[in-house]
Amino acid sequence: MQMRKLIKPLVFVLALLPFAVLVLRIIQNNLGPDPVQELSLETGEWTLRFLILALAMTPLRRITNQIEFTRHRRMIGLFALFYASTHLLVWLMFDLEFRWFAIAEEILERPYITVGFTAYLILLALGITSPKFMVRKLGKNWKRLHKLVYVAAILGVLHLLWILRLDIGPAVFYSSLVALLLGYRVWFRLRARRS
């Protein structure tokens, strides 16, 4: 029981580590020749990693029969939103310098930004509706809404693929993980229907 109480703060600290490393790299001026691009890529990839980790919680619980995995799913999902917000902030602050008309123009005219921004809005909606009182308030609609996490994951991978263009190795890796996790859900649902 005591060990279980320690897991949540440990997950929280571990989830904050990538952000702490990024802050340290900023302080040390250790972000390479293009710091803005490095910050953008790092925060974007950490968003995808946490999103994939959140998607992995349910299959891990089913495979291992350990409920502990789903107890931390919400926190991991909120960290995906945290890194996505940091990613968005880097773009707004350094690339566009908070020029709001330019921001709207970029979102409307550049498909890869449209895709990324749509994924962010989905994550934001899921984050806002993640507290327990919202789960109660939305009832059955909560589950329907939170299935949009699959769409956000696909859009996130597409966004990364569009940005990387030539060096698509990371995007292929993340898309394979997303495909595996979504494929598992389809297989599990089909098996449940048969039985």
Among residues 141, 156, 131, 150, the alpha carbon closest in space to that of 189 is found at 150
The first and second tokens of residue 14, run together, are 């571990």
> 152 near 55, Cβ under 8 Å?
no
Band (164; pLDDT cuts 50, 70, 90): confident
Band (1; pLDDT cuts 50, 70, 90): low
Report the predicted TM-score, pTM, of the whole model to 2 decimal places. Answer: 0.92
The predicted-structure confidence for 103-127, as pLDDT tens digits, reads as follows 888 888 899 999 999 999 999 999 9
> What is the sign, positive or negative, of the torsion defined by CA atoms of 157, 163, 165, 169?
negative
* Segments forming the whole domain that contains residue 145: 2-194
Give me the pLDDT at residue 97, please. Answer: 82
Query: What is the C-alpha to C-alpha distance for residues 21 and 170, in angstroms, rounded to an integer?
Result: 20
Q: What percent of the chain has pLDDT over 70?
A: 98
Query: What is the C-alpha to C-alpha distance for residues 108 and 110, in angstroms, rounded to an integer?
Result: 6
Q: What percent of the chain has pLDDT over 90?
A: 59
> 51 near 156, Cβ under 8 Å?
yes
* Total count of domains within the chain: 1
Which residue, chain included where needed, has tokens 């340290």?
24
Query: What is the C-alpha to C-alpha distance for residues 10 and 15, in angstroms, rounded to an integer?
Result: 8
> 161 near 175, Cβ under 8 Å?
yes
- In the predicted model, what is the mean pLDDT of residues 5-16? 89
CB atoms within 10 A of CB 138: 14
